[in-house]
């Protein structure tokens, strides 16, 4: 199971905005390490997660397509993928989509405002 995070508003050339996507193993057995591949709009990038806490996995810095990964999920466990998003000077509002190795999908709107 995976949640769709709330839509996010960010300023072009502004500070990074943090978004979390939670993935849960609702089964009764351990699940393989989850991977979430995100497709980002033009000139929107991830800047690395910084520090993460227990039950969190940071997504690496990148643009275009970014793949986040975590360790094995035990039965009933969850992981929060932490994305720190930054909009460049040419960024426009758009949609971030993602898919896991198991076919779960995530989608949320990014609104970019001029700084």
**Token pair of 94, please?**
């758009």
What's the confidence (pLDDT) of residue 46?
A: 96
Domain range list for the chain: 8-113
CB–CB of 6/109 below 8 Å?
A: no
CA distance 92 to 12: 8
CATH architecture of 8-113: Sandwich (2.60)
Bridge partners of 31? 73
According to the model, what pLDDT value does residue 3 have?
A: 85
pLDDT per residue, tens digit, the chain (115 aa), is 888 899 999 999 999 999 999 999 999 999 999 999 999 999 999 998 766 788 899 899 999 999 999 999 999 999 999 999 999 999 999 999 999 988 999 999 999 999 7
Rounded to whole angstroms, the Cα distance separating 105 from 39 reads: 11
* Upper half-sphere CA count for residue 54 (Cβ side, 13 Å): 1
Are residues 96 and 54 in contact, defined by beta-carbon separation less than 8 angstroms?
Answer: no
Are the beta carbons of 100 and 38 closer than 8 angstroms? no
The predicted model scores a pTM of 0.89
């Amino acid at each position: 199971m995976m949640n769709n995070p709330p839509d996010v508003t960010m300023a072009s050339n502004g500070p990074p905005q943090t978004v979390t996507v939670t993935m849960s193993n609702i089964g009764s057995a351990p699940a393989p390490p989850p991977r979430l591949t995100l497709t980002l709009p033009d000139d929107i990038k991830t800047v690395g997660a910084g520090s993460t806490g227990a039950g969190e996995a940071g997504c690496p810095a990148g643009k275009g397509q970014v793949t986040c990964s975590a360790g094995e999920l035990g039965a009933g466990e969850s992981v929060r993928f932490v994305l720190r998003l930054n909009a460049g000077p040419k960024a426009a509002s758009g949609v971030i989509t993602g898919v896991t190795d198991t076919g779960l999908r995530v989608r949320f709107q990014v609104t970019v405002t001029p700084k």
